[in-house]
Amino acid sequence: METDGLLAGPVTGGPGDYGTRPGRRMSYSVARGSCSVESSIDYQDLYVQQAVVFIEDAIQYRSINHRVDARSLCLYRWYYSRTCQWSLGLTITVVLLLAFVERPTSLSVSSDPRYRTLTWEPPCGVTESIEMVCLIIFCLDLAVKSYLIGWDEFRKGKWLIGYTMVISVSIIDWVLSVSMVCDEKLRVRRLLRPFFLLQNSSLMKKTLKCIKRTLPEIASVILLLALHLCLFTMIGMLLFAKTEDSEKNGEWRLHFRNLTTSLTSLLVLLTTANNPDVMIPAYSLNRAYAIFFVAFSVIGTYCLMNLLTAIIYNQFRGYLLMSVQTSIIRRRLGIRAAFQVLSCLGAAEECVCVDTVLKVMSRVQMKSYYRSTITMEAQKYADVGTMDRQQFQKIFEELDKDRIKEHPPLPQYNSPILQRLQVIFSHYYLNIFGNAVALVNVICICTVLVLNSEKSTAERDNNILEVMNLCFILFYLFEMCMKVFAFGWRGYLSYRNNIFDGLVTILLLVLQITICATYRLPYSQWEPSYHGAVSLWEMVRLVNMLIVFRFLRIIPDIKLMALVASTLLDLVKNLRAFAGILVVVYYVFAVFGIWLFEGAIKPPPGISVLSNTSMENITSNFTMECGTYEQLQYWPNNFDDFAAAIILLYDVMIVNNWQAFMDAYSRYTTEWAKVYFVCWWLTSSVMWVNLFVALILENFIYKWDRSHSCSVTDVERIRYETTVQLMFKGQIQEPTEEELLCQLHQHPHLHLQ
């Protein structure tokens, strides 16, 4: 580990000074941007290696504030290699998945306590051993990161300090768990595991920072919602107060008995989960009472909740833009640092040799498309032999451009007949005809299913459906072969919808051959329902499902539908950081839910089936009133294990009948259980869903603006690779040369003068 003296010392000596030896001096002039150093083959190779790493940092939007001596650069590249990063990602996945195996284990077919039998639980020490291996890997990860950035940078990194604390607490808790023979009630380290996922993603950390900065604006609207809720609660308690006539007390008895019940009823109404149930008792007495509930819903649900979505979209988008701005500065800084070190090898001041740039590009780990493009741009300056700073930065602007992948040219045929057939089979109308045939196939399957919906398996005539499917599959095979003939194999596979279409067609053909080999040529007098290991109906049903699935091929041929599908794919590919934070939130709330409510709800012995669990502590909290947890048979939704807790949290996030869970756990535990469910509703349904809606809107608007002038075929012919950085490309301000030089001057391991 580097000491403070080495980091803060003079430019001579120290392993941070480009790996220079004592007595070896290299200096940069911020004003002139010049560099002078004694010529040495070792140092020339070192500068090339430094430039390679800086460019790789720029490609991945990584910080360049790390050690730059030869040994550290080798370690740095190894650490960020695909193998090492995949291994670290696998370790994080394993440590998170341990929650499904640890006690209470989720290794059971059903989460319903009435049907759940005794499940296998791993012996003490099995999961603990796996977890310790993961913690050792995290310790190594922390050690490598700390060494590469140096002690000064480590002290400034809040995430690295938090990483150290989380590992330390996890190890201490692990030791306590093993010493207690895995019989402890709480495992604190389970709550800390999501931190490993957060700290490993720079974009996830930026997103979390954006959410943190957006919270004040969100809190202001939530405060307004709380005021709206409290105001209508007071009015409701006054409107529906208890009277002497018990027949008119239905609304009071069910929804406005006390302050807690009144708040809960209107809070659930805010999500529309109990509408119109909450107003029926009063509305049946006097239709004028509907004004109260309609006014509450219009103001709260349709005005304030949608206003919250608008505020989240506006504020979060601005803060995300700031984070993307930081990423762009990192890219520009990495390119500028690469030029700075390569200028030491240039024949002239503030210039780099083209041959040196080509040598660097041959070593950089990047996509082949960008490598070839940047190399071609650099070769344009081969006649001059050198390039200046502006030219060097310009060739790397290719990294900011979208990748437009053109389809390979059509194969050439000499025969006029084959040329004519190629024109026919490559025409767009062939796709339309194929889609029409696929639609007819789906309609035929739907018709047969409707006609046979009341028939049992033995009564169905599967032969007709089988022969019909055989005819359509042969057409699909013919269509695929004709497209391969027209476009060639490379051209055929360059279309994503052709890949999907071809895979499904081949799978259908394999299943059809299997059916024919098993049942030969079926005829009406032969009943093959139970012939072989799988019945004919099961085989035909699988074929039908694939045919229906194949009908998705129409998506690329409908422009708006293609844009929607492309938006969803981009969300899956490029917005993983937001999904990662959602995983963290789910994980934390699930662990808390298990701590608070494990085993809280148990079905009475009278309705328990195949249950080996004890049924003691059954109280009068059990009720079979309409709409309750017990009456709706929600027994599988519980906090008895991690997997069941995840599903219950998802059900609450959807907010349909979420009041049933909140009411049940408040009856079986305490009224404070409602706080847990309200916090989860605010976190997931109110905040996170609105954030996700905002990002979907931004992504879709970006793609719509880029493709509104394209035809249907253009949308398919051009593949857009949308990233978060490209989404905000138009609003990003480029850093100035002075800003870049100032940041280079502050580099902890590049001592500029």
**8 A C-beta contact, residue 40 and residue 345:** no
**8 A C-beta contact, residue 335 and residue 55:** yes
In this structure, what token pair is assigned to residue 587? 């994980």
Asked if the model's pLDDT at residue 157 lies above 80, the reply is: yes
What is the tens place of the pLDDT at every residue in 124-153?
A: 889 999 999 999 999 999 999 999 998 888
Length of the chain as a residue count = 753
C-alpha closest to that of 380 among 402, 400, 358: 358
- How far apart CA 262 and CA 434 sit, in angstroms, is 59
pLDDT of residue 562: 58
Whole-angstrom CA distances from 114 to 100, 337, 610 are 20, 65, 6
- How far apart CA 470 and CA 476 sit, in angstroms, is 10
pLDDT of residue 569: 63
What is the tens place of the pLDDT at every residue in 177-191?
A: 998 888 887 889 999
- How far apart CA 161 and CA 142 sit, in angstroms, is 10
Question: CB count, 10 Å around CB of 713?
Answer: 13
- The HSE-up count of residue 155 (CA atoms within 13 Å, CB side) is 7
In this structure, what token pair is assigned to residue 133? 């291996």
Using DSSP, state whether 388 is helix, strand or coil: strand
What is the tens place of the pLDDT at every residue in 355-390?
A: 889 999 999 988 888 888 888 888 888 888 888 888
Q: How far apart are the first and last CA of the chain?
A: 25
What is the tens place of the pLDDT at every residue in 671-707?
A: 899 999 999 998 988 888 887 777 777 666 666 655 5
**8 A C-beta contact, residue 512 and residue 438:** no
Containing H/E element for 677? helix 673-680
Question: CB count, 10 Å around CB of 486?
Answer: 21
Asked if the model's pLDDT at residue 523 lies above 60, the reply is: no
pLDDT of residue 235: 93
Q: In which band, very low, low, confident or very high, does the pLDDT at 752 lie, cut at 50, 70 and 90? A: low
Return the C-alpha torsion angle 566, 572, 573, 576, nearest 10.
Answer: 150
pLDDT of residue 639: 93
Question: Where do the CATH 1.20.120.350 domains begin and end in the chain?
Answer: 416-556
- How far apart CA 61 and CA 55 sit, in angstroms, is 10
Asked if the model's pLDDT at residue 392 lies above 60, the reply is: yes
C-alpha closest to that of 529 among 461, 476, 474: 461
pLDDT of residue 592: 94
Distance of CA 308 to the CA centre of its chain: 23
Using DSSP, state whether 156 is helix, strand or coil: helix
Using DSSP, state whether 362 is helix, strand or coil: helix
Asked if the model's pLDDT at residue 344 lies above 90, the reply is: no
- How far apart CA 611 and CA 603 sit, in angstroms, is 10
Most confident of 524-528, 540-544, 611-615: 540-544
More confident residue, 647 or 537: 647
Rounded to the nearest 5 percent, the helix, strand and coil shares of the chain are: 70, 0, 30
Bridge partners, 386 (sequence order)? 353
Q: How many helices (H) and strands (E) does the chain have?
A: 32, 4
Q: Looking at this protein, which amino acid is placed at residue 83?
A: T
Asked if the model's pLDDT at residue 668 lies above 70, the reply is: yes
CATH number 3.40.50 given to 567-604+628-722: no
C-alpha closest to that of 303 among 224, 216, 218, 211: 224
Question: Where do the CATH 1.10.287 domains begin and end in the chain?
Answer: 567-604+628-722
346-361 average pLDDT score: 81
pLDDT of residue 160: 92
468-476 average pLDDT score: 84
In this structure, what token pair is assigned to residue 221? 């609207």
Q: Which CATH architecture has domain 416-556?
A: Up-down Bundle (1.20)
Q: Looking at this protein, which amino acid is placed at residue 283?
A: Y
- How far apart CA 492 and CA 505 sit, in angstroms, is 14
Q: Looking at this protein, which amino acid is placed at residue 1?
A: M
Percent of the chain with pLDDT over 70: 79
Asked if the model's pLDDT at residue 218 lies above 50, the reply is: yes
What is the tens place of the pLDDT at every residue in 266-313?
A: 999 999 888 888 999 999 989 999 999 999 999 999 888 888 888 877
Q: In which band, very low, low, confident or very high, does the pLDDT at 584 lie, cut at 50, 70 and 90? A: very high
At residue 15, what are phi and psi to the nearest 5 degrees? -70, -10
- How far apart CA 449 and CA 306 sit, in angstroms, is 42
Q: Over the chain, what is the mean pLDDT?
A: 79
Containing H/E element for 351? strand 351-353
Q: Alpha helices of 180-304 — where are they, by DSSP H?
A: 188-192, 194-199, 202-239, 250-255, 259-270, 280-285, 290-297
- How far apart CA 292 and CA 235 sit, in angstroms, is 9
